[in-house]
């Protein structure tokens, strides 16, 4: 079982598999918006690794977790959102 909790300054993921001890992972928010986005990206990536589908470099469908500017941000015109 995976449990995600919002903490005052970040996120906590608890992971328990049957007879094994519970594992706890702590992700702190950053000081800036950029650091917070990077930290939350780590949360999502960790969840993907714990319970997401297995995939390889040759998989036809892979899940990507990344940070992009908002569609109204000045840098968004340089990116190809497909």
Determine, yes or no, domain membership for 63: no
Distance set, CA 18 to CA 4, 14, 78 (Å): 18, 13, 47
Q: How many domains are contained in the chain? A: 1
In a domain, 10, yes or no: yes
* pLDDT value of position 2: 93
What pLDDT, on the 0 to 100 scale, is given for residue 63?
Answer: 87
Task: Tell me which residue range forms the domain holding 12.
Answer: 1-52
The answer to whether residue 66 sits within a structural domain is no
3 found inside a domain: yes
Question: Is residue 69 in some structural domain?
Answer: no
Contacts of 69 (CB under 8 A, 6+ apart): 75, 76, 79
Residue 9 has pLDDT above 80, yes or no: yes
Q: Which pTM value belongs to this model?
A: 0.79
Range in 15-19, 37-41, 46-50, 73-77 the model is least confident about: 73-77
User: What are 25-61's pLDDT values in tens digits?
Assistant: 999 999 999 999 999 999 999 999 988 888 888 888 8
């Amino acid at each position: 079982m995976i449990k995600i909790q919002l903490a005052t300054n970040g996120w906590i993921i608890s992971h328990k598999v049957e007879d094994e001890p519970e594992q706890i992972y702590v992700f702190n928010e950053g000081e800036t918006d950029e650091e917070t986005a990077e930290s939350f990206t780590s949360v999502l990536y960790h969840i993907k690794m714990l319970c997401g589908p297995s995939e390889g470099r040759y998989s036809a469908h892979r899940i990507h977790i990344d940070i992009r500017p908002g569609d109204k941000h000045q840098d968004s015109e340089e990116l190809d959102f497909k």
